[in-house]
Structure 1
Amino acid sequence: MKPTQHAWRLGAIAITGLCAALISGCNTEFGVGPGDGGETPGNPDYPTLDNKRPQSFALASVGSQPANSLESMGQAMTQSADFIAVDLVMSKDGTLVALGSPDITDITNIANHSEFSDRKTTKVIDGISVTGWFASDFTLAELQTLRLKNPTGSSTPTDINSFRIQSLAQVFDWAKRQARTPGLYLQTRNPTYHSKLGLPMEDKLIAALQQAGNTSATSPVMIRSTEVQHLKTLRDKTKVRLVQMIQGSDLTPWGVIQLSAPYDRPYDFTVAGTATTYADMVTTAGLAQIKTYADGISPWKPYVISATYLDKNNDGQPDDLNNDGKWDYRDRQMMSATNLVTNAHAANLFVHPFEFSSDVSTLASDFAGDASKEYKLFYKVGVDAVLSANPADANKAR
């Protein structure tokens, strides 16, 4: 690991105008800076890596359907998403299962199943102690007696078969049954956590890909992860496109990305004692390192273009632009684009930012409640795809 750590640290030193990192206590704030808008020769409307129009990817939950349900995937198909995001965790019997977290307390109706009440426990996921029920304590058959739900609601099934939990093999089978085969954007959740439980994900994922015939760089599958060694292990075993996810913990009032554990760096870096943060990874040197094992990056969208509150009266408080008595994204104003897309493309990496929505509360004041304006702004910068809860709107904006 030492040569790799050394290379990453060189990336941290070689910050090149994309950002400046301010370290204070246990937090790091990643500031966005001006960029040249990602313009590249070829297609002035869509300065993407391949000069083709950007793609529309569906997040794991579409149309208010529970994340990772076939109902949500069906909505994504109806909205003509090019790829559909699917989260993956491991079951007790070593099966890859489409769930948004190892902690299934709030994303399933497990609390209603008294037969499993004795399995409520406490586990540590990426350094955070969590009490609830966990997929790794249940077999696939047991998990499939549960039903998916939204974390903030009950999502009552329309019939006994609604919102069923799917294995990855079942998701692949579902995709093959569609009139148009959708791409699947697989996100492996918490690989280090699963490995420590004796449930490593890599070989199971490779076997599932091979079984489904997805073995090449042109296969309708991409794999996204926050963890570096996990992606490197996959790179040695598959040609399927791999994507490094770039996270952040919060956005300051003035548009600066905050980095606090566990969202400050890949968790395998934390375990290994590697100081490299996500801010280091989006420097030119960091992107060059990512290119050695991945085909693209998937950053939180403020890494591409952030948004700031205003303080026109200089009272030290953000202005309430829409006079609704509260502060949310509608009171922010978009900042200049960083040069992340330009630098990633220069490293031959595609860029898939997340997470977009047509919910007006997530749209900066610049867009006046019109989601198409946000998509168009990011398309102009040159992103290769957007991950959205409303892929149809992302399509219309192209």
Structure 2
Amino acid sequence: MTIISPLVIAHRGASGYRPEHTRSAYELAFALGADAVEPDIVATKDGVLVLRHENEISGTTDVAAHAEFASRKTTKVIDGVSLTGWFTEDFTWDELSTLRAVERIPLLRQSSSSFDRSEGILRLVDLLAIIDTAAVTTGRHLVLVAEIKHATYFESIGLPLDQLFAEVVRDWATPANLIVESFEQSVLMKIRDRGIPGKLVFLAEHKGVPADLAAASGNKARSYADHLGQAGLTRLRTEVDGVSVSRKLMLRLDLGKNAIGVTDIVARSHAAGLLVFCWTLRAENKFLAKNNRVRGEARDFGNWRREFELVMSSGIDGVFADQPDLAVAVRAGLPARSAPAAVPVPNAGDPSF
């Protein structure tokens, strides 16, 4: 696969402008110049793969307004976290298709929330058709970056996401149009064993332990930090094609939470032979390092260009962006590659990241 450098991946579509995972969010992302789109993939009771940020859907749909589904509200433990709400695996696709999508963070994205309830939920198969249509319309090579969510949990309830995913993409996927990512490496290996082509990318948080390893090994499970140490990266290279890290692992912050450079995560990952992606670039003050915020509200756009340029000039192979047009604009102005000075990966920074 030829990777445009850096690849601009629209995070859940153009989710800075439309409710995430909706048809308009994905279509707008390609219209704005994104090279790829990233859906989060979960399953229904009857094994249909749908696009939602989480399997708990009270924050991204109008399910709470549907009296006929009031009894479905429940509390579950998903990957060690107790959640109360409505869950995709408790609905058939026919039932979920009656729901409408809403903006997940309406106080920050009031313009996007004006599109609430104008669209329904998409299936993975629907997104494949959107990508194919956009590729013809734009005349560009487009990529699906598919995130498999909560695979260990879904398998425990009889919904193996690797099998369901393979069934949907087998006749569509090529080595050039598919990247599969997950915080659980075991599901990536299962997808590869099923003969699905494309790149495999391990997602890494700034702290914690992968859910599949925690389920298998408990307190002895290797942490994300272990995976991103030099020995861990060397091991990952024998198993996957790349890593995708939180911005907390990319930005070097001073004591005042100001971004003053980047860490060495890109250089070390490249030295191990891995592609490196970063999530997520967002333009609003709320999500920027302190010195890139401007006076105004948390929802106002800050000095996004400075922060995007810092990340994108690091030598990184791909970035996830809620406003993909802004990332495309920054990429167009990048000079010849020269990574900023790097330092070791820090501990967790500003929780607003």
Residue of structure 1 in register with 2:199 after alignment: 241
Alpha-carbon distance between aligned partners in 2 of 1:173 and 1:379, rounded to the nearest angstrom = 30
SS of the residue aligned with 1:354?
A: strand
Residue of structure 1 in register with 2:162 after alignment: 202
Give 2:99's aligned amino acid: L
Query: Is 1:361 matched up with 2:286?
Result: yes
Query: Is 1:69 matched up with 2:22?
Result: yes
**Which of these residues, 43, 51, 60, is aligned with residue 90 of structure 1?**
43
Alpha-carbon distance between aligned partners in 2 of 1:197 and 1:51, rounded to the nearest angstrom = 37
Query: Is 1:170 matched up with 2:126?
Result: yes
Q: Cα offset for 1:75? A: 2.0
Q: Cα offset for 1:235? A: 2.0
Deviations 1:327-384 (A, max 9, x none): xxxxx22244322111111222111101111113333355464222222222322111
Distance 1:99 1:361, change over 3 A: closer
Query: Is 1:183 matched up with 2:129?
Result: no
SS of the residue aligned with 2:70?
A: helix
Residue of structure 1 in register with 2:215 after alignment: 271
Tell me if the contact between 2:237 and 2:274 (Cα under 8 Å) persists in the aligned partners: yes
Alpha-carbon distance between aligned partners in 2 of 1:354 and 1:278, rounded to the nearest angstrom = 15
Alpha-carbon distance between aligned partners in 2 of 1:88 and 1:185, rounded to the nearest angstrom = 11
TM alignment of 1:78-117, pairs within 5 A? 78-117=31-70
Residue of structure 2 in register with 1:370 after alignment: 303
Deviations 1:191-215 (A, max 9, x none): 011011111100111111113x21x
% same residue: 29
Deviations 1:10-45 (A, max 9, x none): xxxxxxxxxxxxxxxxxxxxxxxxxxxxxxxxxxxx
Alpha-carbon distance between aligned partners in 2 of 1:184 and 1:83, rounded to the nearest angstrom = 6
Greater C-alpha Rg? 1
Deviations 1:229-256 (A, max 9, x none): 11111122222111100113xxxxxxxx
Residue of structure 2 in register with 1:316 after alignment: none
Query: Is 1:287 matched up with 2:220?
Result: no
Q: TM-score, normalised by structure 1?
A: 0.73
Query: Is 1:302 matched up with 2:259?
Result: no
Give 2:277's aligned amino acid: H
Tell me if the contact between 1:373 and 1:397 (Cα under 8 Å) persists in the aligned partners: no
Alpha-carbon distance between aligned partners in 2 of 1:280 and 1:209, rounded to the nearest angstrom = 32
Tell me if the contact between 2:17 and 2:323 (Cα under 8 Å) persists in the aligned partners: no
Residue of structure 1 in register with 2:175 after alignment: 217
Give 2:272's aligned amino acid: A
Corresponding pairs, count: 310
Aligned CA-pair RMSD: 2.1
Give 1:210's aligned amino acid: R
Alpha-carbon distance between aligned partners in 2 of 1:191 and 1:360, rounded to the nearest angstrom = 33
Query: Is 1:59 matched up with 2:36?
Result: no
Structure 2 residue runs of 5 or longer lacking an equivalent are 294-301, 332-353
Alpha-carbon distance between aligned partners in 1 of 2:315 and 2:303, rounded to the nearest angstrom = 20
Q: Cα offset for 1:87? A: 0.8
Distance 1:266 1:51, change over 3 A: closer
SS of the residue aligned with 1:148?
A: coil
Q: Cα offset for 1:388? A: 0.8
SS of the residue aligned with 2:233?
A: helix
Name whichever structure is richer in helix by fraction.
Answer: 2
Alpha-carbon distance between aligned partners in 2 of 1:99 and 1:361, rounded to the nearest angstrom = 23
SS of the residue aligned with 1:374?
A: helix
Residue of structure 2 in register with 1:21 after alignment: none
Tell me if the contact between 1:357 and 1:371 (Cα under 8 Å) persists in the aligned partners: yes
Q: TM-score, normalised by structure 2?
A: 0.82
Q: Cα offset for 1:64? A: 3.2
Alpha-carbon distance between aligned partners in 1 of 2:86 and 2:19, rounded to the nearest angstrom = 18
Q: Cα offset for 1:271? A: 0.7
Give 1:301's aligned amino acid: R
Residue of structure 1 in register with 2:335 after alignment: none
SS of the residue aligned with 1:382?
A: coil
Tell me if the contact between 2:262 and 2:310 (Cα under 8 Å) persists in the aligned partners: no
Alpha-carbon distance between aligned partners in 1 of 2:175 and 2:234, rounded to the nearest angstrom = 20
Alpha-carbon distance between aligned partners in 1 of 2:224 and 2:252, rounded to the nearest angstrom = 16
Alpha-carbon distance between aligned partners in 1 of 2:5 and 2:58, rounded to the nearest angstrom = 40
Tell me if the contact between 2:147 and 2:180 (Cα under 8 Å) persists in the aligned partners: yes
Tell me if the contact between 1:63 and 1:75 (Cα under 8 Å) persists in the aligned partners: no
